[in-house]
Structure 1
């Protein structure tokens, strides 16, 4: 039987950046005269890939060039917002990553972020200390957006691990559903934004120290 592994979403999971995301999205939406409720943001934006989000926002099919343009406009605002603050991994995350690395547990990131943001995160958080570059799976324009499970399935394939031995950490509602749809053995909700997850019968943690290490396969 193949060794188990761990897959992390990034934004709102390993990096608690919701205030920066909200601020940058508010500026972006205001610029284009688009108004969304909190519920609409949760449904249309959080955890989804750029193509899905921008086609919903602008109400039409978009070319790859347009999607890239709209995405970069928004992500420049986001990265600038991040740089105004101290950027650090989520509470307890660094200790968990060090423990997983020491025990040679396969690890991957599966994020709806595009390459420019992923490169930014790799640089700011020294992610290659913990993750092999090929195991950082991001939105390259070809991956179906969450809640479709494709991004998590790609991460499992990259690590060479079975669904039955995979642990996924997620925070967004679309991401949680994506993880469930992937048939991973364990899905753990990271409550980085003080949300309520009553629709999911899943474990919820507020700090990575709360993660039950007994779930790991060493």
Structure 2
């Protein structure tokens, strides 16, 4: 077993899409007459899986069928918003991905996004050039959402690596907490929105060139 690998959250980490997410969420919430503060958005939406978010917003249990229906309504708005813009991976991300691939460092994505968005990202960014499909872990309804570590645990398991030498990149507060709960060797915050991470004593980068690659020496 290799000592460790690299696991990326996607939205807000590998793909800086917070503006598109905000616009689509605002449109979606207004259509349902739900109005949230910025703090509530951070707590209830960002980094969480669809079922958790919907049950908080609508204050009732959701069936799997309802989760798919309500989530897809919002994600159509989101994907349409993305397509209005030039879609690129985060600054420095491609250079790091090329480095990881060239050095045979196992890497995975662990995202709270559902399958329809993951398929969209795979197509838009040619993600399979870097990630094996089974190493793109997403919200399939069978794992607890962040801040629970389940998505990251599954990514570590699929990579077949140890936790102590692994690195997780995250941006959302719930995602950072999930990464800490996974108990990997290193958690790196990607600050794509000029957010306040004073609650965490962790390295923060605003460009993937700022990542200390010496942490990858296994």
Alpha carbons 1:10, 1:111 under 8 Å: kept: yes
**Displacement over 4 Å in runs of 4+:** none
Distance (Å, rounded) in 1 between the aligned partners of 2:190 and 2:217: 20
Query: Partner residue of 1:44?
Result: 44
Secondary structure at 2:164's aligned position in 1? helix
Alpha carbons 1:8, 1:110 under 8 Å: kept: yes
5 Å matches for 1:90-129?
90-129=90-129
Could you tell me the TM-score, scaled by structure 2's length? Answer: 0.99
Aligned length: 218
Query: Partner residue of 2:170?
Result: 170
Distance (Å, rounded) in 2 between the aligned partners of 1:77 and 1:193: 21
Secondary structure at 1:165's aligned position in 2? coil
Alpha carbons 2:3, 2:164 under 8 Å: kept: no
Deviations 1:90-116 (A, max 9, x none): 000000000000000000000000000
Query: Partner residue of 1:151?
Result: 151
Alpha carbons 2:3, 2:166 under 8 Å: kept: no
Could you tell me the TM-score, scaled by structure 1's length? Answer: 0.99
Distance (Å, rounded) in 2 between the aligned partners of 1:147 and 1:120: 24
Q: CA deviation at 1:143?
A: 1.1
Query: Partner residue of 1:4?
Result: 4
5 Å matches for 1:70-81?
70-81=70-81
Give structure 2 stretches of 5+ with no counterpart. none
Distance (Å, rounded) in 1 between the aligned partners of 2:146 and 2:12: 15
Distance (Å, rounded) in 2 between the aligned partners of 1:146 and 1:4: 21
Q: CA deviation at 1:3?
A: 3.2
Q: CA deviation at 1:4?
A: 1.7
Distance (Å, rounded) in 1 between the aligned partners of 2:106 and 2:132: 10
Secondary structure at 2:155's aligned position in 1? helix
Secondary structure at 2:217's aligned position in 1? coil
> Over the residues paired in the alignment, what is the CA RMSD in angstroms?
0.7
Distance (Å, rounded) in 2 between the aligned partners of 1:165 and 1:158: 15
Secondary structure at 1:164's aligned position in 2? coil
